[in-house]
Amino acid sequence: MKVLISDKVDTGCVGILQQGGLEVDVNTGLSVEELLDIIGGYAGLIVRSATKVTEAVIERAEALRAVGRAGAGVDNIDINAATRRGIVVMNTPGGNSVSTAEHSVAMMMALARNVPRATASMKAGIWEKSPFTGIELAGKTVAVLGMGRVGREVAARANGLGMRVLGYDPFMTDETIQSYGTQPAGLEQIWAEADVLTFHLPLTPQTKHYLSTEQLAQCKNGVRVINCARGGIVDEVALLAGLESGKVAGAALDVYEEEPPAPDSKLITHDNVICTPHLAASTQEAQSNVALQVAQQVRDVLVEGVIRNAVNVPSIEPEAYEKLRPYLDLGERMGRIQGQLVEGSLERITIEYRGEVTAHAMSPLTSAVLKGVMETFAEEGSVNLVNAPVVAQERGIRVDEVKSSDPEDYASLLTVILQAGGQRRVLSGTLFGRSDPRIVRFDQYDLDAVPDGHMLFYINDDIPGIIGRVGSTMGSHKVNIARMSCGRHQVGGKALTVLNVDSHMSPAVLDEILQDPNISWARQVAL
């Protein structure tokens, strides 16, 4: 497999990929047309911010399985298009956390003490002090909006400066924010009390213009604003108006709604604005860290199937993956069985997790089950762990997860329930030991079946001789039975038999079995 590195990254990136047996091409500065011409031959792509991985690029990338962004921001990658194609998109959110946090704090301190303006004055040959009188940060209130890796690092450093630190994150509990030595606060409190606002949120439709005219009106007079996260989080028109009115005492910006900004921008040229050209992550240490990290992640996906720091699929760390791998295999096999047994239009998939398996992340397991189900309805190779939930959603299939610590009769139990055409079909599975998969229930029938190879499921009247007749039929067609599991709900009622056979059966064999008046249903499954 081949990997393309299309932006400048640390040279150590190449060696890590090659150690995994991957062929690596470093080709930077490609035009859009040049990228479109060559991308079809690559299974992996590593970029920074310069390469734009658009929908057009993704459509041309027939072999592409993984895109790695050496850095945190992925706004140069069409995530939705990649997900639909089953391509893993990964970033390196931790590799530049310290660098970005340090830059944010440096901007805050420079803003507080007017360092850039005083420097420019000195370089112009002017010795003056009073215009550059600053403020002490000790005792001031700083609001950290976004308590991810960078936000937490900023909070730690602000605490060290003796500041009162308020923390806000819409996806984090108050208890978690407190555990980082930060006082949790709602937005109303933040706007009213913060002397400094520092933003560390991703840019999403929900966070665009998070700080705008309405929010600034609620802030203290003389508030200072820092944005080293993503351009667009701060409404630049509102910010400029605040600076001109004096509502905002100063702003420090590393990112902009348009990059690069216009040289004559009133915001950029404002005396009380400090600007840097998207430098927060630009340290030698950070650039090396993110390059080596993304190379390892791309290698892990392509060579071992381990996904870390993905933005469009549940990630699994290597240690967790080894523990989860048998369940992923079980879930995919069960999904594949159910997908082949379902009759009618599929409406709903319910996945129940019970017992010890609930200690693991559920999202990867759900993706594995959905992959197994959906690939039976899709073109071969078009469904994987990345896009399986999207494929289900596009088909209008409702997916539910149920989690319980009660294991019933097993240490762990995974149940996949399909509703289609007014019918409900239940399949339960577990692991014997650490990695031996078993099907233990089909609808109301208890079993001990191995989900492997070619399988025959059939329901019959619970009377003597049925198994023998089925065996004779299969024997006459030279189909060898490897394993058998039987279950019944009550004596003399209906019974279920599951056979593992050594080879695929022709439709003629199945038809002959169904000709038996005591067999009401039969289906063949291939795993």
The string of pLDDT tens digits covering residues 99-128 is 999 999 999 999 999 999 999 999 999 999
Q: Which of 103, 224, 230, 308 is catalytic?
A: 230
Q: Does 55 participate in catalysis according to the annotation? A: no
Q: Which CATH class is domain 2-94+285-304?
A: alpha beta
| Closest by CA position to 484, among listed 470, 494, 473 | 470
pLDDT, the chain, mean: 92
Residues of the chain with CATH 3.30.70.260: 444-527
Q: What is the average pLDDT across 317-331?
A: 84
How deeply is 87 buried, as exposed, middle or buried, from its count of CB atoms within 10 A (0-12, 13-18, 19+)?
Answer: buried
Alpha carbons 285 and 289: distance in angstroms, whole number: 6
Distance of CA 392 to the CA centre of its chain: 17
When the candidates are 1.10.3470.10, 3.40.50.720, 3.40.1280.10, 3.40.720.10, the CATH number that belongs to 97-275 is: 3.40.50.720
Residues of the chain with CATH 3.30.1330.90: 314-434
Q: Does 230 participate in catalysis according to the annotation? A: yes
The pLDDT value recorded for residue 382 is 67
pLDDT of residue 183 exceeding 80, the answer is yes
Q: Letter for the amino acid at 494?
A: K
| Closest by CA position to 397, among listed 345, 328, 351 | 345
pTM for this structure? 0.61
Residues of the chain with CATH 3.40.50.720: 2-94+285-304, 97-275
pLDDT of residue 272 exceeding 90, the answer is yes
Count of CA atoms in the C-beta half-sphere (13 A) of 140: 21
The pLDDT value recorded for residue 331 is 96
Q: What is the average pLDDT across 283-300?
A: 92
Superfamily designation of domain 314-434: D-3-phosphoglycerate dehydrogenase; domain 3 (3.30.1330.90)
Residues 6+ apart with CB under 8 A from 511: none
pLDDT of residue 240 exceeding 90, the answer is yes
When the candidates are 3.30.70.260, 3.40.350.10, 1.10.357.10, 3.40.50.2300, the CATH number that belongs to 444-527 is: 3.30.70.260
Q: Does 488 participate in catalysis according to the annotation? A: no
Residues 6+ apart with CB under 8 A from 355: 405, 406, 407, 408, 410, 411, 412, 413
Q: What is the average pLDDT across 211-234?
A: 96
398-404 vs 412-420, strand pairing mode: unpaired
Axis-axis angle for helices 97-112, 284-299 (nearest 10): 150
Q: Which of 164, 278, 469, 523 is catalytic?
A: 278
Q: What is the average pLDDT across 207-212?
A: 93
Q: Which of 136, 214, 244, 259 is catalytic?
A: 259
